[in-house]
Amino acid sequence: DAGVTQSPTHLIKTRGQQVTLRCSPKSGHDTVSWYQQALGQGPQFIFQYYEEEERQRGNFPDRFSGHQFPNYSSELNVNALLLGDSALYLCASSPTSLRETQYFGPGTRLLVL
């Protein structure tokens, strides 16, 4: 049983560019959450998707957007990249009935130059 997978593992972009990160949830999980983890910090909640809709959102600007597909996989899009967007982006999945039980993926490390 594959766990949560994320792609790509690493990414380098320049300021102003746009980036798309991808996440496949653990089998049987229909809820996907995204987090940003800056160096030396804990993960910060970006948003959560369920039934292809954004259900919860943290304190992130509209430059951060997402999508969930019918197969429950998800994408995180960040527009107009800033240097401060450099971080590890984590995806976590959970089943509807136990939404507090989140399983994390390995993350995508984004570097903005």
Partner 1 sequence: AQSVSQHNHHVILSEAASLELGCNYSYGGTVNLFWYVQYPGQHLQLLLKYFSGDPLVKGIKGFEAEFIKSKFSFNLRKPSVQWSDTAEYFCAVTLRNFNKFYFGSGTKLNVKP
**Nearest residue (CB) to partner 1, 11 versus 88:** 88
Q: Is residue 8 helix, strand or coil?
A: coil
First to last CA, the chain: 37
102 sits near partner 1 (criterion: CB under 8 A):
yes
93 sits near partner 1 (criterion: CB under 8 A):
no
Cα separation, 54 vs 113, whole angstroms: 29
Q: Least CB distance from residue 9 to partner 1, whole Å?
A: 12
Q: Which two tokens stand for residue 26?
A: 């653990």
Half-sphere exposure of 84 (CA within 13 A, CB side): 4
Region of 12-20, 38-46, 60-68, 79-87 interacting with partner 1 (CB under 8 A): 38-46
Which residues are at the interface with partner 1 (CB under 8 A)?
Answer: 3-4, 31, 33, 35, 40-45, 48, 55-56, 58, 90, 92, 94, 99-107
